[in-house]
Amino acid sequence: MVIDLITIFPAMVEAALAEGVIGRARTRGVVDIRARDLREFTSDRHRTVDDVPYGGGPGMVMKPEPLFAAVEAIAAERGPASAVVLMTPQGRPFTHAAVEGLSRLERIVVICGRYEGVDERVADVLVTDEISIGDYVLSGGELPALVVVDAVARLVPGVVGDDASVAADSFADGWLDYPHYTRPAVFRGRAVPDVLVSGHHGEIERWRRAEQVRRTYERRPDLLDRAVTTADDRKLLAELRQRNAAAGVSDRKTDGQEPGDERDD
């Protein structure tokens, strides 16, 4: 897979791509991911990438010429892009399905916006996918682009040491993850669950799956519709629902509470 990220902060992007699983996969040549400095595609002495907005208003807008020149130069060098992605809060939500879709493509170009955004002709003509990682505005598209690249590259065979572990990752089958523990067996008076030190692999597997079901039910009931359930899963869910009903607790949906909403009054 080939990914090019167009940005005015290539050092920031390169630093993030140099480390960890993605960094090692790049070094091994399993993926070819590069940060492209947008200023390399300008044609004026000042290497201008932005200008004032037509119609007035605050801030600056990213000029179309450098972005068109960058996408076209990358296409000439690498071959036409399978997708040109613009990172923006008004894009489609970035879900596991989107990760899977992008991971099957050969060449992806990602445009990282800054200032007040990019000239609309870039979105109209060049961009094939507008993607949002959440309903908030950041100072630039670089961090969302790195989220996309990390999630997509992990699905490329050979990037993560154990491809099976990637397939079992949360959201691949719709379940949240089970708890993880390592030494010491007791830390500040809190012991590792006995089953994990029992050596009974079947019991451990059943405990882990039960924890996935419990956690998903308690924290993200919205995922249950899509989760791949077994008869045992459904039995456990029924028990969890009965236990909640007996305790007078309705099945939790997202109750709209946000961190920091706690009030003393």
* Binding of ligand 9WO by 132 (CB under 6 A): yes
Binding range to ligand 9WO, per CB under 6 A, among 45-53, 102-110, 115-123, 239-247: 115-123
CB 105 within 8 A of CB 82: yes
How far is residue 16's CA from residue 193's CA, in Å, rounded to a whole number? 36
* Binding of ligand 9WO by 51 (CB under 6 A): no
* Buried/exposed code over 217-256 (b: 16+ C-beta within 10 A; e: otherwise): beebbeebeebebeeebeebbeebeeeeeeeeeeeeeeee
How far is residue 233's CA from residue 215's CA, in Å, rounded to a whole number? 12
CB 86 within 8 A of CB 118: yes
Q: Is 163 a catalytic residue?
A: no
Q: Which of 26, 107, 114, 154 is close enough to bind ligand 9WO by CB under 6 A?
A: 114
* Binding of ligand 9WO by 212 (CB under 6 A): no
CB 32 within 8 A of CB 2: yes
Shortest distance, position 109 Cβ to ligand 9WO, whole Å: 16
Shortest distance, position 59 Cβ to ligand 9WO, whole Å: 9
Q: Which of 4, 50, 144, 152 is close enough to bind ligand 9WO by CB under 6 A?
A: 144
DSSP 122: H
Shortest distance, position 6 Cβ to ligand 9WO, whole Å: 12
Nearer to ligand 9WO, 64 or 117 (CB): 117
Q: Which residue is nearest to ligand 9WO (CB)?
A: 113
Q: Which of 140, 170, 177, 206 is close enough to bind ligand 9WO by CB under 6 A?
A: 140
What is the size of the binding site for ligand 9WO (CB under 6 A)?
18
Which of 40, 77, 106, 116 does the annotation list as catalytic? 116
Per-residue tokens: 117: 């955004």
* Binding of ligand 9WO by 23 (CB under 6 A): no
How far is residue 214's CA from residue 150's CA, in Å, rounded to a whole number? 28
Q: Is 116 a catalytic residue?
A: yes
**Counting beta carbons within 10 angstroms of the beta carbon of residue 199, is it exposed (0 to 12), middle (13 to 18) or buried (19 or more)?**
exposed
How far is residue 231's CA from residue 69's CA, in Å, rounded to a whole number? 55
* Binding of ligand 9WO by 92 (CB under 6 A): no
> Nearest 5°: CA angle at 252, between 248 and 254?
145
Nearer to ligand 9WO, 89 or 174 (CB): 89
Q: Which of 13, 50, 88, 216 is close enough to bind ligand 9WO by CB under 6 A?
A: 88
Active site residues: 89, 116, 154, 169
Residues contributing to the site for ligand 9WO (CB under 6 A) = 87-90, 113-117, 132-134, 137-141, 144
